[in-house]
Amino acid sequence: MTNNPNELTIENSPVAIHAPSRGRVVGAWIVQGLLAATFLAAGGAKLAGVPMMVQIFDQIGMGQWFRIVTGLVEVAGAVALLVPGFAALGAAWLGATMFFAVLTHLFILPGSALPALILLALNALVVWLRRDQLVAILDSTRRGHSRNRATHAPRGGAKF
Domain boundaries, the chain: 23-134
- Please give the Cα distance from 97 to 51 (Å, whole number): 21
Give 83's pLDDT tier (boundaries 50, 70, 90).
very high
Instruction: Return the CA Rg of the chain.
Output: 20
- Please give the Cα distance from 117 to 101 (Å, whole number): 8
What pLDDT, on the 0 to 100 scale, is given for residue 138? 85
- Please give the Cα distance from 75 to 92 (Å, whole number): 14
The two counts, helices (H) then strands (E), for the chain are 6, 2
- The per-residue pLDDT for range 90-125, each reduced to its tens digit, is 999 999 999 999 999 999 999 999 999 999 999 999
Q: Residue 55 pLDDT > 70, yes or no?
A: yes
Count the neighbouring beta carbons within 10 Å of the beta carbon of residue 32. Answer: 25
What pLDDT, on the 0 to 100 scale, is given for residue 3? 52
Mean pLDDT of the chain: 86
- For the residues 136-143, what does the mean pLDDT come to? 85
Report how far Cα 60 is from the mean position of its chain's Cα atoms. Answer: 24
Q: Please state whether the predicted TM-score (pTM) of the whole model is above 0.75.
A: yes
